[in-house]
Structure 1
Amino acid sequence: MMNNTYEPSNGRLQWLKKDMDDLRKEMQAGFQRLSEEFHNLSITMVKNNERLADIEERQNSYEKQFDKYKKQIEDRIENKLKKSRIDIIKDVVLILAVLFAFAQKPEIGSFFSNIIKLIFK
Structure 2
Amino acid sequence: MQTADSREAAPIACTLSAADMGPRVARIQAMTREHLRRHELLGSALRLTYAPEAADEVARIAELGQACCAFLDFETRRHADGLEVVITAPHQVGADAKWLFSQFLPNAAAPASACPCCKG
Which of the five TM-score ranges fits, normalised by the shorter chain? under 0.3
More helix, by proportion: 1
What TM-score, normalized by structure 1, do the two folds share?
Answer: 0.20
More strand, by proportion: 2
